Amino acid sequence: MNNKDLSQYFRSVIDQDRCAVVICNLDHEIIYMNPAAAARYANRGGAALVGQSLLDCHNAQSVAMIEKVAAWFAESREHNIIYTYHNEKENKDVYMVALRDADGTLIGYYEKHEYRDLETGALYDFG
């Protein structure tokens, strides 16, 4: 399987996630938002945020932390995920996760939201 074919699978994994996923390069440029992220941030521009700086979407304190985490990711190939906050209102945790190439070189990062509510759907509900 060539890389193009494989990348379609990876993109599909991200696109099917019900949680917002925002992918950035090392310049903090938003290079991809899954549909859940585009919907979540619709009031800030949604998918039109792709190509813009993630840092422009945050206050000075958050920008400093994002830059600190990116530097921490760059320090070691062992530094790959960090818990950034819990949103009590939405009962979710938010993480920053390092993205690395096949050689382990840092190429970017993404923000991952994980909701903590119990699933209410029935098992294997094909309805």
| pLDDT on residue 33 | 97
User: In the chain, which residues have pLDDT < 70?
Assistant: 1-4
| pLDDT on residue 105 | 97
CA distance 127 to 125: 5
Distance set, CA 43 to CA 13, 39, 53, 78, 103 (Å): 25, 8, 16, 36, 38
**What is the pTM for the complete model shown?**
0.89
| pLDDT on residue 123 | 87
| pLDDT on residue 119 | 86
Domains, the chain, ordered by start: 18-115 (3.30.450.20)
- Are the beta carbons of 69 and 96 closer than 8 angstroms? yes
Burial of 102 (0-12, 13-18, 19+ CB in 10 A): exposed
